[in-house]
Structure 1
Amino acid sequence: MSRRILHVATNISHFDNPAHPTGLWLSELTHAWDVFAARGYEQRIVSPKGGKVPLDPRALKWPMRDTSSRAWLADPAKMALLSATACPADINPQDYDATYFTGGHGVMWDFPNSEGLQAITRVVWEKGGIVSAVCHGYCGLLNTRLEDGSFLVSGRKITGFSWTEERLAGVSGEIPYNAEAEVKARKALYEKALLPFMSHVVVDGKLVTGQNPFSASATAGKVASLLGGI
C-alpha cells in the first residue's frame, strides 16, 4: 500500500506590514514533493483555512528559484494544487503516514494556534506516524499537545530556522516572535548547524525537522527512510 503524506502550507500573504509580502517558500514544498513522488507516495496539501496558498516572492528569485520550483511554476496542475488546498476539517488524519510542515514566514502567524492542524498532528503522532517540518514549519508544532497534555516537542531534539538566520535575513524586527526561543521555552532540545543556511536535519524517533530551505530534500529523505521501516 502506498504511503500518504500530508503537506501543510500557509494562507498568510504578508507580514504585519501589508507592503511586505510573504507566503510559502516554494522550494521547501517542491523538493520534498519530488522526493516523495519518486517513491510513489500519495500527497495532499492542507492549510489552516484551506484554499489559496500565497508564494513568497523572495523564493522565486534566482538563485532560490531552482529547477524543482521552476518545474512546479510551469505546471498548471501543480499550481492548481496551491489554489485549492484542503482545510483541516477535510482531512482524516488516520489516512496519513506522515505530516510535513513547510515554511515561509507566513506560517509564524497562522500555524501555531490552528486547532485543526494540532488535532491532525496529534492523531498522526499517536497512531505511530511521522511528524516532520522544515524551516519555519516547526512553528506549527509549538502549541501541539499530546493526549497527556504535554507538548509534542518537549524533551525532543528539533531544529528549525534559527534566530541568527532571522537576523541575517533582515526580518528579526518584523516577525511576531523568536521561534527558536519559543521552542526552547517548551523544553525542546533545539539544535542548529555550525554555520547559518547550511543543510541540517535532526531526527528524534518519529520527529524529523530541517533547519532552513536548503534542508528540504534531506528532511524528506529522512522521512522516506523512516516510512520504509514502518
Structure 2
Amino acid sequence: MKNLLLVVTNVTHYESGLATGLWLSELTHIYHAAKQKGWEVTIASPKGGKVPIDPESLKPFVMDKITKEYYSSPGFLEELHQSKSLTEVENDFFDCVYLAGGHATMYDFPDNDVLQSIIRKQYEKGEMVAAICHGVGGLLNVKLSNGTYLISGKSLTGFDWFEESIAGRKKEVPFNLEAAIKERGVKFEKAFIPMTSNVVVDGNLITGQNPFSSKEIAKVIVNELEK
C-alpha cells in the first residue's frame, strides 16, 4: 500500500482577470493510476477547499478518455472541491508528493512556505517528489537543510518558454518558468518536439514537461514506487 499526496492550486485567475486553475489531466492520470493499484490518495491545496479547473483543460479536443470520465464523476469532483489544506497534511507520511500543474500554480506554489517544508522533508527522507508542467514551479524556491536549492545541479523538465508561446500565455504568466528553473543551475531537458510527452527522472525527483506527459509520468511514478 502506497500513500500519495497530490497538490493542486486554489488560484482562479491571472492578474489580467483571465480564468485559469488546475490543468485537469495532470491530476486525473496520477489519481487514476494510484486508485487502480488500490493506493491511498490525498488531494491538498495551499488553502484547502475548492479547486478551480482551467477551462482550457476542459475543451473536447484536449480532454482524453480518462479525464472525461473523472470530470463526469460527482464523487471525484466532490473530493477535488473538498481538498485538504497543506497545513492539515504537512506532518503526514507520503510515499510520493506530486505537484499537479496549470498556469495558476505559478501564483500559489513557488513562495508557499508550507509546501516548501513538505517537499524538503519528503526529499531529504529519500521519498519521491514529482511535479508536472507549471507545477514544477513549486520546486523553484525549495531549499534543503544545508541551504542549497533542491533543484540545483539536477536534471528536470517543465513547461518551456516556446510552449508558453504556443499556448498564447507569454503575456499572462507572472514569470518565465524555463528561465527561472535554469537560474538554479538545472540541466533543463526538453522534448525534441514541443507539446509532446517528456518525463525526467533524477533519483527520487521526477518531473514531466507538459500536459501531454500526464499519462507517462503517472506510469513512471507507479513503476518507481513498485521497485
Q: How far off its partner does 1:94 sit? A: 4.4
Equivalent position to 1:172, from 160, 170, 173: 170
Q: 2:148 & 2:225 partners in 1: Cα distance?
A: 25
Q: 1:171 & 1:111 partners in 2: Cα distance?
A: 18
Matched, 1:225 2:223: yes
Post-superposition CA distance 1:83-129 (Å, at most 9, x none): 11111110044410111111110000100000011111111111111
Q: 1:46 & 1:94 partners in 2: Cα distance?
A: 12
Q: 1:84 & 1:73 partners in 2: Cα distance?
A: 15
Q: 1:94 & 1:87 partners in 2: Cα distance?
A: 12
Amino acid at match of 2:77: M
Aligned to 2:68: 70
Structure 2 stretches of 5 or more lacking a match? none
Aligned to 2:159: 161
Q: 1:165 & 1:92 partners in 2: Cα distance?
A: 33
Matched, 1:53 2:51: yes
* Residues paired across the two proteins, number: 227
Amino acid at match of 1:188: V
Structure 1 stretches (4+) deviating beyond 2 angstroms?
none
CA 1:93–1:217: 2 relative to 1, 3 Å: farther
Decide whether the 8 Å contact of 1:94 with 1:124 is kept in 2.
no
Q: How far off its partner does 1:22 sit? A: 0.4
Q: 1:23 & 1:31 partners in 2: Cα distance?
A: 17
Aligned to 1:26: 24
Return the TM-score normalized by structure 2.
Answer: 0.97
Matched, 1:17 2:16: yes
Q: 1:102 & 1:214 partners in 2: Cα distance?
A: 13
Q: 1:172 & 1:191 partners in 2: Cα distance?
A: 20
Aligned pairs (5 A) from 1:1-230: 2-18=1-17, 20-229=18-227
Structure 1 stretches of 5 or more lacking a match? none
Decide whether the 8 Å contact of 2:21 with 2:104 is kept in 1.
yes
Decide whether the 8 Å contact of 1:157 with 1:189 is kept in 2.
yes
Q: Identity over the aligned pairs, expressed in percent?
A: 43
Amino acid at match of 1:89: T
Two-structure CA RMSD over aligned residues (Å) = 1.0
